[in-house]
Structure 1
Amino acid sequence: MRATRFFISTLKEAPADAEIISHKLMMRAGMIKRLGSGIYNYMPMGLRVIRKVEAIVREEMNRAGAVEMLMPVVQPAELWQETGRWQKYGAELMRIKDRHGRDFIIQPTSEEVITDVARSDIKSYRQLPINFYHIQTKFRDERRPRFGLMRGREFTMKDAYSFDRDVESMKKSYAIMFDAYVRIFQRFGLQFRAVAADNGAIGGTGSHEFHVIADTGEDDLVYCPTSDYAANIEAAEALPLASERPTPTQAMTKVSTPGTVKCEQVAELLGIGLQQNVKSLVFAVDGNEEGSVKKQLWLLLLRADHELNEIKMQKVPGLANARMATEEEIIEWFGTEPGYLGPIGAKKALNIVADRTVANMSDFVCGANEANFHLTGVNWERDLPLPAIADLRNVQAGDPSPDGKGVLAIQRGIEVGHVFQLGTNYSEAMKATYLDENGKPQLLQMGCYGIGITRILGAAIEQNFDDKGIVWPTSLAPFEVVICPMGYDRSEQVKAETESLYSALVAAGVDVILDDRGERPGAMFADWELIGVPHRVVIGDRGLKEGKLEYQGRRDTEATAVVVADMVEFIKAKLAA
């Protein structure tokens, strides 16, 4: 490729609405251009990266035995109504009508469509296992699109769907896809981590997320440095911090704590550690309109220095549809304003759930359900019955690892892939069955596997950049090598050597671009450093007089002189490494 026949459109400054580094650098490098809120044109430079991501994904999916197809962007509402997701998916689902008033959606994912294909075409166990995938445009109507391709509304995703005869076979298909994902991310050249995750709106029985490690990531990844344990903080199990409850040493005492509505204030006033305080979080579950089911209030108890994990909370039976209680509801149930709440002496009956760590605490401090008062020396089974116990909190660095092989650490990551064991969630709702060896219908067991194709670009940049611009891994770079001639339009010798090297690299299968624009060296170098091409060759009269060319890797601090005749093999060795 010659630069004069390509489209290069770089900017010295990022647009004002670009917030994070990947968004700024992609805009400055001319890879994307904003069309509307969360909607971007993929410019030629950016599209080359996307195509390289797709090629790696496609090769590894095919290698794993998946079969490519293509499902439509627009899908009929009837399929989504069958599974109930027409109602459940929420405002992110873009619902539209055609000219006849019929309902459709712009797909965010394709479980319904692929299950419809399976129930129509898979008849016998002899057709299983099968795994279909496609690479297709998706749309999710984000409330607040931001961060460029990291949280846009329109994006490209690879989603795959496996169908198996039983749970054991489904787990084997899942393992095959998990291994394929590991190979994909290794080929991307990115530092990544696979972590156990919550299934979320997709449903199913088990899942793993694949995260690109980056300080700017939105997710906390929990892992054990001395074992293989890893999980998203949403799914990481929090063990009790004491293996058993200590024997009480204090009498329960009501103490005056004026103006202390926060646990930190209580701890400071009483001269105790924050870890000895228990905080009260109140949630409400509404009754039905007929009144046959009454509104309930739930009191969740956590150690004061711990944070509630709302994903875990929603898995507690009865709390799936909980909301924060209002101040009026709290006063009605507890008889006092927030800030002095506790599990003893509420006015009305409560559902109480204690976190595992709280259940093993003794002599703790909590609200007295009276303004300006707290209780000290509170103990389970002596002062109040032991309530329901659940894992309610986020883990913290230094907590014991659930596998018993060390302590936990936390790092930030950007989710770019997710694999699910769906089971029969969709096949049951849509009556997708096959006939087994005995001629009896059985539900298809499903798996689901997604990779955010366009999101990979943003994640890769968040992990690989410097003050000059993007630093692409070679496998993802828009071009592997750029040739930068000094005086290409003025020196016949420079032009001849440039054309010779360019032709030789093209013949060797190298993805090379020749910058024949006639730009000044400083401007030319700045463009390619911003764009992030990983290998650069400079050709100039001065070097040619010594029979040498200048090579510099994008991460190198200094250039290396290479004999003209050796440059092609030198570049091939760099690319092979």
Structure 2
Amino acid sequence: MRQSQILLNTLRERPSEADTEGHGLLLRGGYIRQLAAGIYSYLPLGRRILHKIEGIVREEMERAGVQEVMMPSMQPAELWMESGRYGSYGKNLMTVNDRHGREFILGPTHEEAVTSLMKNEVSSYRKLPVKVYQIGTKFRDEKRPRFGLLRGREFIMKDAYSFDISEEGLDLSYRTMFVAYNRIFARCGLRFKAVEADAGTIGGDGGSHEFIALSAIGEDTVAVCDHCDYAANLEQAETAAWNGEIIGSGAAETDSDTPQADRGGAAAEDAPLPEKFHTPDIRTIDQLTAAYSLKPEQIIKTLIYRVDGNSIAVLVRGDHEVNELKLGKYLGAEDIMLADDSTVAAAAGVISGYVGPVGLKLPVLVDYAVEAMTEGVAGAGERDYHLQGVRPGRDFPLTRVGDFRNAAEGDSCPRCREGRLTLHRGIEIGHVFKLGTRYSGKLSATFLDASGSERSMIMGCYGIGISRLLAAVAEQNAGEGGIAWPDALAPFEVQIIIVSIKDEAQAALAEKLYGTLRELGLEVLLDDRDERPGVKFKDSGLIGAPQVVVIGREAALERVEYENRLSGVKETLGFDKAVLRIKEHVKNNRI
């Protein structure tokens, strides 16, 4: 393609709307343009990359035996009401009404629609298993769209669904898709992790994994073991239970004369009772540690939550944070909210910051790390006072003990127990779920088994954010002058730059090279514009082709300057040698 003919306008400066480095370069390079908050147009360069991502996805879906379909974006609201998701999605749903007043949903995902489809198409076990997918536009009414394509209100997604006759069949479909997803993201050149995750609003309790592209700007945090292959989203990451020794990071030091196994027993009973000390206007962990030379891990933090209309207390160490997802699963509750100051005062008899577990007349949930403490500092249940020497099991009950906190850097791995967890930021680019009968049961998607009995189909679903994947690759490969696109996704495999279009020798050699490479089936961009060399080189950086050929003053000798942006190699080559070098690189890197 000739650059003089392509719809491509680059920007010299990063636009004010750009939230991240990659977002800024996509705008500067003329890949995307914002139409409204969270809504983008894809210009030719951006569409070429999307097309390549979609091509990789289609190839891997074909390899995995998944059939492509296309379903409507508009879905009857009654379907979502029937599945029970209409309320859980809430204001994130984009809805429209037709002229008859019937409500439709602009689909953020298609579990309901595909289940309705299969309900009418499959009636016998002889037609199962079946796996289908589509690539299309999805809609979500984000309250605060940000990070460009990473959190938009309109986005491109590949969603796939499997239907099986048994849990064993679902396991096989899940493994097949899990392998396919690993191949897709590897082919796209991403640095990523597959991590255990929560099913969220998609639902299902059979298990799920997220695929996370590692990036400092990511909204997800993942915990990864440095010894085994354990990895999990922070929401899902387990923390190891107390097992006769303190497990985890930064555990408070214990008195060697007081065995941990005696917590709450004779040794604890012989220890001095908690001692109250004056802490005027000191309500936070930071204030306590600064004023009394304490470490956060020596403090027992008492937080009051409202759970389905009732107040409870949750105890975590001062250096830990409550994980509300784990809390909800333990209690079997969905409505969980940290209590405000007035609710805390009404429930605990004292304002926030001075609440403690001793004598507290509320159900008390104790995190494993608090259970493992010999003693600690806690609120006294009285304004401007705290207690020191508070002992778990003696001074408050250990009847509700569990994993109620976020994993922390340096925690022991809950699987191998030998490794330590490290935390990484990342961008969610894919998610796979075992749904079971979550949708087929509610929407009556059944089949007749070999004995003639009616059973619900066993489902899985598998999503990839196509436009998010584009943005994630941009973030991982963003540099000062542009995005160094991986070979598999680059909008062009090679770019030819003519230093002076008015120089006949340069123009002739450029046309010869352009024609030769195109005959070889390569994707070539020829910068044939009448522009200053500096403008051309800056634009070339923003376009990010892996290979660049500059035709300049040695054109009469048929010599060119060759650059491989990915390896950093720069060399002057004769025409034939340059063609050979370009062919070899493309041959070795087309996946």
- Shorter-chain TM-score range: over 0.9
- Helix, strand or coil: the match of 2:352? coil
Task: Return the offset for 1:213.
Answer: 1.2
Name the amino acid aligned to 1:502. Answer: Y
8 A contact 1:56–1:187 mirrored in 2: yes
8 A contact 2:38–2:152 mirrored in 1: yes
Name the amino acid aligned to 2:98. Answer: D
Alignment of 1:113-512 (within 5 A): 113-204=113-204, 205-240=206-241, 242=246, 247-248=267-268, 249-286=271-308, 295-346=309-360, 349-404=361-416, 405-491=418-504, 493-512=505-524
Q: Which residue of 1 aligns with 2:583?
A: 572
- Helix, strand or coil: the match of 1:413? strand
- Helix, strand or coil: the match of 2:331? coil
Q: Which residue of 2 aligns with 1:290?
A: none
8 A contact 1:540–1:549 mirrored in 2: yes
CA-to-partner distance for each residue in 1:100-131, whole Å, 9 max, x for gaps?
A: 10010100000000000111111111111110
Name the amino acid aligned to 2:304. Answer: V
- Helix, strand or coil: the match of 1:315? helix
Whole-angstrom distance in 2 between the partners of 1:250 and 1:270:
20
CA-to-partner distance for each residue in 1:151-183, whole Å, 9 max, x for gaps?
A: 111010000000001111101100000000011
Name the amino acid aligned to 2:479. Answer: D
8 A contact 2:274–2:389 mirrored in 1: yes
Whole-angstrom distance in 2 between the partners of 1:154 and 1:313:
32
Asked if 1:522 corresponds to 2:544, the answer is: no
Alignment of 1:5-24 (within 5 A): 5-24=5-24
Moved more, 409-418 or 271-280: 271-280
Q: 1:427 to 1:371 in 2, by over 3 A?
A: same
Name the amino acid aligned to 1:549. Answer: V
Whole-angstrom distance in 2 between the partners of 1:57 and 1:375:
59
Alignment of 1:28-43 (within 5 A): 28-43=28-43
Whole-angstrom distance in 1 between the partners of 2:203 and 2:575:
59
Asked if 1:548 corresponds to 2:570, the answer is: no
- How high is the TM-score relative to the length of structure 1? 0.95
8 A contact 1:366–1:374 mirrored in 2: yes
Alignment of 1:63-142 (within 5 A): 63-142=63-142
Task: Return the offset for 1:543.
Answer: 4.8
8 A contact 2:509–2:555 mirrored in 1: no
Whole-angstrom distance in 1 between the partners of 2:453 and 2:167:
17
Whole-angstrom distance in 2 between the partners of 1:556 and 1:428:
54
8 A contact 1:398–1:407 mirrored in 2: yes
- Helix, strand or coil: the match of 1:371? coil
RMSD of the TM alignment (CA)? 1.6
Name the amino acid aligned to 1:472. Answer: W
- Helix, strand or coil: the match of 2:288? helix
Whole-angstrom distance in 1 between the partners of 2:2 and 2:35:
28
- How high is the TM-score relative to the length of structure 2? 0.93
Name the amino acid aligned to 1:263. Answer: I
Q: 1:285 to 1:215 in 2, by over 3 A?
A: closer
Whole-angstrom distance in 2 between the partners of 1:104 and 1:559:
57
Whole-angstrom distance in 2 between the partners of 1:279 and 1:544:
77
Whole-angstrom distance in 2 between the partners of 1:324 and 1:133:
40
Q: Which residue of 1 aligns with 2:251?
A: none
8 A contact 1:296–1:350 mirrored in 2: no
8 A contact 1:194–1:209 mirrored in 2: yes
Moved over 3 A (4+): 243-250, 267-272, 555-558
Name the amino acid aligned to 2:370. Answer: V
Name the amino acid aligned to 2:319. Answer: D
Structure 1, unmatched stretches of 5+, are 287-294
8 A contact 2:23–2:475 mirrored in 1: no
Task: Return the offset for 1:255.
Answer: 2.2
Whole-angstrom distance in 1 between the partners of 2:286 and 2:499:
65
CA-to-partner distance for each residue in 1:66-103, whole Å, 9 max, x for gaps?
A: 00000111111121111011222111101110011001
Whole-angstrom distance in 2 between the partners of 1:236 and 1:128:
34
Identical columns (%): 45
Name the amino acid aligned to 2:303. Answer: L
How many residue pairs match? The answer is 565
- Helix, strand or coil: the match of 1:185? helix
Name the amino acid aligned to 2:540. Answer: W
Task: Return the offset for 1:285.
Answer: 3.0
